[in-house]
């Protein structure tokens, strides 16, 4: 067939649905892809399959009753969600918590950040075709963290550990020892991932220069968390707007260069190392004292508006509460990081091949529970 003949062949764009039942869309996300051969022309994400109307539920629950619901937002990092919510209520009530509770919260939040990043790394590797081995290695390490949480609060996924005015239970000697052991255990494991994945030729070929997110674009789309830092913007709420006791610890904010899928992965690996540093310092300097301020279970704040944001493993998690003269919030708005992170996806995958969309989506580490709420 020569060139003149191929001109006459009529071709048209092809539309396929990826998801909602697709193993690599990280939940029930549906992507409507318009393809020109193997190249993506247009990508439209459809969300809402996991909508549970959390914000409306919050209007009919007391401030304490809503804590278990925050577990179900970002279910991989429940502790961080608990933390974000109780922090905003404490700000609303102008409540000061004890020094020990602050340190415990930092340790717990960082442990859960590691657990969340481990899942992100494992599933990203699996999306790229490194089947099972890295994922199972990551789950093996995560299991240690989950065991600590299980012993601490009695559950393995939806912890419901943070309380308005402190935390549920104090660290026992056993748990402190376990955390110290975990730091020693985890350090060489992160180096293992470097050997196994980070500089692997196939892994680099699949993820380098794929889905490049420029600095300007990241800021314009209000991308936050490791995805923003991978694009070269040094913005971490723990450093720039310190809450709890984060200003007392020494840690670096890892930043990427190109903003491609590999950078987003690498930033997460580095963040695990930094989190371990924070936990090590916090557990050494753990002050004595009470873990919870004695407040009632029913709170009745004066009418006001409050917003507070914390650094979640996926980005900035913000809670906005409007309170009126009742025991229920008048309105609760959740600013979830994954929602913004997903919004930039159609821009990034335009012109890429179908196989790369899985790579870009995996590198963003989105979670549908948080997007649909």
Partner 1 sequence: MIKLAKNFVVGTWSLIKGLAVTIKYFFRPTVTLQYPTEKQPMSECYRGLVGLRPEKCIVCYQCVKICPTACLAITHKQEDKKKTLETFKYNMELCCFCGLCQQVCPTSAIIMTNIYEISVYDRKKLDINLLDMKKYDEWTNTTIK
Count of CA atoms in the C-beta half-sphere (13 A) of 196:
20
* Structural element, H or E, at residue 311: strand 304-312
- Binds partner 1 by CB under 8 A, chosen from 68, 232, 242, 346: 68
> Which residues are CB-neighbours of 3 under 8 A, at least 6 positions away?
none
| 22-57 residues labelled b (16+ CB within 10 A) or e (exposed) | bebbbbbbbbebebeeeebeebebebeebeeebeee
From 286, 269, 255, select the one nearest 365 (Cα to Cα): 269
Our finding on whether 199 is near partner 1 (CB under 8 A) is yes
Cβ proximity to partner 1, 1 vs 296, nearer residue = 296
Q: Which residue do the tokens 């989506």 mark?
A: 361
Tell me the window of 101-109, 192-200, 218-226, 309-317 that interacts with partner 1 (CB under 8 A).
192-200
Choose which of 63, 69, 251, 364 interacts with partner 1 (CB under 8 A): 69
Instruction: Name the 3-class secondary structure at 10.
Output: coil
Nearest C-alpha neighbor of 118 from the set 69, 185, 71: 185
**Considering the rule CB under 8 A, would residue 155 count as an interface residue with partner 1?**
yes
Q: Which is nearer to partner 1, 64 or 258 (CB)?
A: 64
Binding mask 279-318 for partner 1 (x = CB under 8 A): ------------------x---------------------
Q: Does residue 326 belong to the site contacting partner 1 (CB under 8 A)?
A: no
- Rule CB under 8 A: say whether 53 interacts with partner 1: no
> Smaller CB distance to partner 1: residue 147 or 247?
147
Question: Contact between 66 and partner 1 (CB under 8 A)?
Answer: yes
Question: Which range, of 106-114, 121-129, 153-161, 283-291, touches partner 1 by CB under 8 A?
Answer: 153-161
Residue 195 is a binding residue for partner 1 (CB under 8 A): yes
Q: Which stretch binds partner 1 (CB under 8 A): 5-13, 58-66, 102-110, 311-319?
A: 58-66
Residue with Cβ nearer partner 1 (59 or 143):
143
Q: Which of 158, 242, 290, 292 binds partner 1 (CB under 8 A)?
A: 158
DSSP state letters, 195-226: IIIIT-HHHHHHHTTSS---HHHHHHTT--TH
Quick check: 67 binds partner 1 (CB under 8 A)?
yes
Quick one: 155 or 222, whose CB is closer to partner 1? 155
Q: At what angle do helices 99-127 and 354-364 cross, to 10 degrees?
A: 170
Contact 233, 224 (CB under 8 A): no
Q: Is 34 in the site for partner 1 (CB under 8 A)?
A: no
Applying CB under 8 A, what is the total number of residues that bind partner 1?
32
Shortest approach of partner 1 to residue 227 CB, angstroms?
A: 26
Q: Backbone phi, then psi, for 31, in 5-degree steps? A: -115, 125
Q: Which stretch binds partner 1 (CB under 8 A): 85-93, 132-140, 257-265, 285-293?
A: 132-140
Measured from the CB atom, the residue of 196 and 253 that comes closer to partner 1 is: 196
**CA-to-CA dists, residue 63 to 97, 163, 297, angstroms:** 17, 10, 8
| Residue 96, number of CB atoms within 10 A of its CB | 10
Q: Degrees (nearest 5) of the Cα angle 234, 208, 364?
A: 55
CB atoms within 10 A of CB 183: 16
The interface region with partner 1, picked from 137-145, 220-228, 256-264, 339-347 by CB under 8 A, is 137-145
**Helix extents (H) in the chain:** 3-8, 54-58, 67-71, 78-93, 99-127, 133-153, 173-193, 201-207, 215-220, 226-230, 237-240, 261-284, 337-343, 345-349, 354-364, 368-372
Instruction: Tell me which of 143, 170, 241, 324 binds partner 1, using CB under 8 A.
Output: 143
Could you give the string, one character per residue 240-279, with x where binding to partner 1 holds by CB under 8 A and - elsewhere?
----------------------------------------
**Binding region for partner 1 (CB under 8 A):** 61, 64-69, 71, 133, 137, 140, 143, 147, 150-151, 153-155, 158, 160, 168-169, 192, 195-197, 199-203, 297
């Amino acid at each position: 067939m020569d060139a003149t003949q191929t001109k006459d062949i009529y071709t048209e764009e092809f539309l396929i649905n990826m998801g909602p039942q697709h193993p690599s869309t990280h939940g029930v996300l549906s992507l409507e892809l318009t393809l020109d051969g193997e190249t993506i022309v247009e990508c439209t994400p459809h969300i809402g399959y996991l909508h549970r109307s959390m914000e409306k539920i919050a209007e009919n629950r007391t401030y304490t009753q809503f804590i278990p619901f925050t577990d179900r937002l970002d279910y991989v990092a429940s502790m961080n969600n608990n933390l974000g919510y109780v922090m905003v209520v404490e700000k609303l009530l102008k409540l000061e918590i004890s020094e020990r509770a602050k340190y415990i919260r930092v340790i717990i939040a960082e442990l859960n950040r590691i657990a969340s990043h481990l899942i992100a790394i494992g599933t990203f590797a699996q999306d790229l075709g490194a089947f099972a081995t890295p994922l199972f290695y990551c789950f093996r390490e995560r299991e240690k963290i989950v065991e600590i949480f299980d012993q601490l609060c009695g559950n393995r996924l939806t912890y419901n550990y943070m309380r308005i005015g402190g935390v549920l239970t104090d660290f026992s000697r056993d748990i402190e020892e376990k955390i110290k052991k975990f730091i020693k255990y985890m350090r060489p494991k992160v180096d293992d991932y470097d050997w196994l994945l980070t500089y692997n030729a196939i892994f680099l070929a699949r993820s380098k220069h794929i889905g490049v997110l420029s600095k300007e674009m990241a800021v314009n789309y209000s991308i936050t968390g490791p995805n923003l830092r991978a694009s070269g913007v040094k913005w971490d709420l723990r450093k720039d707007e310190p809450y709890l006791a984060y200003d007392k610890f020494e840690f670096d904010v890892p930043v990427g260069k190109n903003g491609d899928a590999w950078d987003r992965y690498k930033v997460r690996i580095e963040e695990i190392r930094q989190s371990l540093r924070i936990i090590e310092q916090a557990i050494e300097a753990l002050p004595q004292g009470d873990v919870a301020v004695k407040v009632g279970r029913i709170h009745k704040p004066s009418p006001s508006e409050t917003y507070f944001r914390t650094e979640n493993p996926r980005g900035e998690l913000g809670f906005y509460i409007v309170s009126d003269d009742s025991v229920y919030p008048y309105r609760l708005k959740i600013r979830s990081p994954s929602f913004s992170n997903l919004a930039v996806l159609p821009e990034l995958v335009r012109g890429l091949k179908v196989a790369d969309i899985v790579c870009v989506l995996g590198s963003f580490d989105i979670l549908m529970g948080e997007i649909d709420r």
